[in-house]
Amino acid sequence: MHDGSEQNVPPVVVPPGSYPRFADRHIGPDHSARKAMLATLGHDSLRSLTDAAVPALIADRSLDLPLALDEPAVLAALRALGRANRPVPSMIGLGFHPAVMPGVIQRNVLENPAWYTAYTPYQPEISQGRLEALLNFQTMITDLTGLAVAGASLLDEPTAAAEAMQIALRRARGGRRVYLVDADTLPQTIAVVATRAEALGATVHLVDLSDGPSGGDGLAAVPAELLDAAFGLLVSYPGPSGALREHREVFARARERGLLVTVAADLLALTLLRSPGELGADIAVGSTQRFGLPLSFGGPHAGYLAVRSGLERTLPGRLVGVSIDAAGDPAYRLTLQTREQHIRREKATSNICTAQVLPAVLASMYAVYHGPQGLAGIARRVHGLAVRLAEGLRVGGVTLGDSSFFDTVIAAAPGRAGEVVAAALEHGVNIRLVDDDHVGISCNETTVEADLRAVWAAFGVPPAAAAEVTAQAELDGPIPTTTAVALPTELVRTDRYLEHPVFHEHRSETAMLRYLRRLSDLDLALDRGMIPLGSCTMKLNATTEMAAVTWPEFADIHPYAPLDQAAGYLTLIRDLEEWLARITGYAGVSVQPNAGSQGELAGLLAIRAYHRDHTPAGAPVRDVCLIPSSAHGTNAASAAMAGMRVVVVACDADGNVDLDDLARAARTHTEVLAALMVTYPSTHGVYEEGIGQACALVHEAGGLVYVDGANLNALVGLAKPGQFGADVSHLNLHKTFCIPHGGGGPGVGPVAVGEKLLPYLPNHPLRAEAGPATGVGPISGSPWGSAGILMIPWAYIQMMGADGLREATSVAVLNANYIAHRLRPHYPVLYSGRGGLVAHECILDLRPLTRATGVTVDDVAKRLIDYGFHAPTMSFPVAGTLMVEPTESEDLGEIDRFCDAMTAIRAEADKVGDGTWPLEDNPLRNAPHTAAMVTADEWAHPYPRSVAAYPVATLRTGKYWPPVRRIDGAYGDRNLMCTCPPVASFAEPVDEPATLATVG
């Protein structure tokens, strides 16, 4: 490990034993609590419990990891890694631009656990704050792109472009399988789209649209037969060349021929340029990184995707809409969820599960804080600097590329481009090597006059000429008086945008601070209480783990900067990949996938590529993926995206994979079997005894085994998928390894593989070091994915060490079994393994309760809000159930509080069952109860207000009040509104308007 010993900085010295063990901070139950819980379960130690729960055939407690470090030592180690990085002002561009995150947003969103510990807003009544922030994001995107509907973020710009390609492909008719891509498009975008297209049987064809005159038909040179085979067109606006071209005629001709047109647009440029929608695009994609997000060596950053009217139901990922609650008041929720993978499985619009909610919130707040005038002012300054840069180069005799550009200038340096790049670095800036003869320079929000002088000097512009340009600039001022300095007149934006009041009311830091506080107060996140979501692993995100995320040594590194400027990052990444391989028992790991869904896709593409290379010529293609009926919907959606056919395998009465049905399916599909995709422990929360046999059955039939790592929190230190029969897994670092969920992202989904799949890990077109040359192509746009948050799992593993990680897993199993034991008298535990034990989660069966009382799983989930809890996972993997996962981080007091709430709710349900309360008017059916409801002048319900508001006495000293009542989801789907609603819709009814008229 890089220890920074070469630096002349004294290490932090902490006397032995003077600082608590981090594992004791991370793990909730202390030793006395564990002893009491174990006694309840009839065990005398954690080892006894886990030995009883985990099948002996797969047990493996070995972990070869560094010794645990305490928190000060880890912070010192991270500082040393940071010092090994070398932030240099970046003018590289290529989709990544330094930006300034306002301090009020950094402190009160990015560094605020009320925002970063929240979960995806599936329970909308307790998520109104982040849902409003995401609606602001969608409004920002739709306004700037000129399109009808935008999603609530995607993983990055290349992924968004790939999703747009899939939208076009699904609408293709007549066997069209060619996707046309403007050659002036980011190379990482082209590569990610090509990776996705190849798996789906489509082909990417690059077209040079620069040949057509401005305003002309750039498709004229494309052969007619190619156009006839094409289903879509992707155009950049602007592309990496910086050139701005008016493609209205291109778009019109493409649409006439049945192509869906996508524009990859720079969001900051759109504050000055006509929108893609106005130019005739069907879809717009891009990144919001330059709206205040740091470079972070490539991510995480929120991608965006917007569509014209009529394409709403094809959108991938999450979509926030406006509905009404039980009182008829406006309320936000996730809308059109029936198109998602949780329901449609292999027929879903995408496999996207985790998106980039926290980065999207940051970008939206950047727009809220600056407003349209501020954003346009930033854009004009950036453009003015680029114009000044170009003028200085021109005066110095340098030949430039296009005369129309926003922020990027391509300059000729025949035969010496490399020398110019090196000279620029000597003068203190990074610029881009385009080829041997050309250099690219991109201006950004942080660019200053000294950066321009450094570039001029690198090109050898005479100081006198540079001084002349600088002097003129001082006369002109920092912002051009007109936006049309180097923008084509026909592309200058004339319409208004971001007119909603939210983008105008928060200019002062005081106003912004209070707005952010108001929104965070609306939500229930991990900082308020346990979030017992099964299959989601909502554990502690320790402050020390998070500390380095915003350090400039990590935040200010461009993903395409010279790698000697990122030595600390590379050491950290190598450490993390090696440790994850040891923990899982695999041969190698790639951290490039920037979500669990993308890790799944990477793993399945590796399997597909392996079979392609090892199936004899003339043999059938191995493309069948066996998936248990209990699997997460993402599994089936990922298999479909990898070009595989899904065959469902049954589960037996105990919830295990039916080995007889698996054997039958393997025999039936022997010649075409590609893989078995199974979660372990199962999504039923059980350590299945037959996992080894299942792996053997598939291997005997020529297939490979994919073990979904969603439940790795039940395996670390107890068993290793790579050693009990699996060939590949993806891991969720935002679950098991403490990256916060952020309200629905960011996540990291590394793919871990056995020896035979190492040649098929992801790679990258701009970084040979990011993966094998034989790899499947890039899965995300950045070489190492969301590198800017990898210090979180690195720090977690360093501070826990082998013993701490094993202990955490064991306590997670203890907590789940304790809950199952306490609640079993009130709710049947649907599935269990040996000795009646569960793994790290348990499924409570509410179906008997519903049959007996009419109280539904929704009623129980919403009533839990009144008790101050986020509900467990509802109706997955079995309808009418709750799946509970407490994680190791919750202490006995919080676990008992949850069990007490569930026990009290059962008693309330019994009162409905015995007729004490009517089925349609009781505390469960009316839940959640808002403060407005329980303080209303009239109360006509058959239970007292105290039961509604304070069902247990402890709530009187610390009560979370939901801001809305139960939300009508169907109304929101029928009346689709996915941008900020008019302010009037939130107006309070006025009973006496005459009185108001006399005021003032």
Structure tokens at 260: 């869906």
Could you tell me whether strands 260-265 and 283-287 are parallel, antiparallel, or unpaired per DSSP bridges? parallel
What is residue 803's predicted lDDT score, i.e. its pLDDT? Answer: 98
Neighbours of 987 (CB within 10 A): 8
Per-residue exposure over 415-442, b if at least 16 CB sit within 10 Å of its own CB, e if not:
ebbeebbebbbebebbbbbbeeebbbbb
Q: Helix (H) and strand (E) counts for the chain?
A: 33, 23
Yes or no: say if 634 and 641 are a contact pair by the CB < 8 Å rule.
no
- Give the model confidence (pLDDT) of 812-858 as tens digits: 999 999 999 999 999 999 999 999 999 999 999 999 999 999 999 99
Q: What is the mean pLDDT of residues 874-895?
A: 96
Sequence letter at residue 307: V
Percent of the chain surpassing pLDDT 70: 93
Cβ within 8 Å of residue 667, ≥6 positions away: 701
Nearest to 250 by CA among 225, 293, 221, 285: 221
- pLDDT over 70 at 588, yes or no: yes
- Banded pLDDT at 187 (limits 50, 70, 90): very high
What is residue 477's predicted lDDT score, i.e. its pLDDT? Answer: 62
Q: What is the mean pLDDT of residues 47-70?
A: 97
Angle at CA of residue 870, ends 867 and 874, nearest 5°: 115
Angle at CA of residue 822, ends 816 and 824, nearest 5°: 95
- Banded pLDDT at 204 (limits 50, 70, 90): very high
HSE-CB at 917 with a 13 A cutoff on CA atoms is 24
HSE-CB at 763 with a 13 A cutoff on CA atoms is 16
Q: What is the mean pLDDT of residues 214-223?
A: 71
| Residue 118 DSSP SS3 | coil
Neighbours of 984 (CB within 10 A): 6
Residues shown for the chain: 1000
What is residue 578's predicted lDDT score, i.e. its pLDDT? Answer: 98
More confident residue, 303 or 317: 303
Nearest to 867 by CA among 942, 923, 822: 923
Q: What is the mean pLDDT of residues 687-694?
A: 96
- Banded pLDDT at 998 (limits 50, 70, 90): very low
What is residue 219's predicted lDDT score, i.e. its pLDDT? Answer: 85
- pLDDT over 80 at 348, yes or no: no
Angle at CA of residue 802, ends 797 and 808, nearest 5°: 75
Neighbours of 712 (CB within 10 A): 29
Element containing residue 307 per DSSP (H, E): strand 303-307
- Give the model confidence (pLDDT) of 597-613 as tens digits: 999 999 999 999 999 99
What is residue 992's predicted lDDT score, i.e. its pLDDT? Answer: 38
More confident residue, 867 or 472: 867
Neighbours of 935 (CB within 10 A): 10
Kindly report whether the global pTM for this prediction surpasses the value 0.85.
Answer: yes
Q: CA-CA distance, 649 to 686, in Å (whole number)? A: 17
828 burial via Cβ count (<10 Å: 0-12, 13-18, 19+)? middle
Sequence letter at residue 879: A
Q: CA-CA distance, 655 to 647, in Å (whole number)? A: 18
- Banded pLDDT at 359 (limits 50, 70, 90): very high
Nearest to 651 by CA among 672, 697, 682: 682
Nearest to 455 by CA among 480, 478, 427: 427
- Give the model confidence (pLDDT) of 110-139 as tens digits: 999 999 999 999 999 999 999 999 999 999
Q: CA-CA distance, 503 to 499, in Å (whole number)? A: 7
What is residue 476's predicted lDDT score, i.e. its pLDDT? Answer: 61
User: Would you give the end-to-end CA distance of the chain in angstroms?
Assistant: 70
- pLDDT over 50 at 4, yes or no: no
- Banded pLDDT at 454 (limits 50, 70, 90): very high
- Banded pLDDT at 351 (limits 50, 70, 90): confident
Q: CA-CA distance, 588 to 582, in Å (whole number)? A: 9
Instruction: Give the bridge partners for 287, in sequence order.
Output: 303
- pLDDT over 50 at 398, yes or no: yes
Q: CA-CA distance, 733 to 741, in Å (whole number)? A: 10
Could you tell me whether strands 842-845 and 881-884 are parallel, antiparallel, or unpaired per DSSP bridges? antiparallel
Yes or no: say if 912 and 854 are a contact pair by the CB < 8 Å rule.
yes
72 burial via Cβ count (<10 Å: 0-12, 13-18, 19+)? middle
Yes or no: say if 456 and 393 are a contact pair by the CB < 8 Å rule.
yes
Percent of the chain surpassing pLDDT 90: 87
Reported in sequence order, the residue ranges of 94-219 that DSSP labels E, i.e. its strands, are 149-150, 178-182, 203-207
Structure tokens at 102: 């306002």
Yes or no: say if 165 and 231 are a contact pair by the CB < 8 Å rule.
no
Q: CA-CA distance, 155 to 746, in Å (whole number)? A: 8
- pLDDT over 50 at 233, yes or no: yes
- Give the model confidence (pLDDT) of 612-634 as tens digits: 999 999 999 999 999 999 888 78
What is residue 484's predicted lDDT score, i.e. its pLDDT? Answer: 53
Q: CA-CA distance, 543 to 25, in Å (whole number)? A: 11
- pLDDT over 70 at 478, yes or no: no
Structure tokens at 133: 């922030």
- 303 alpha-carbon distance from chain centroid: 9
DSSP-derived letter for residue 533 is B
DSSP-derived letter for residue 988 is P
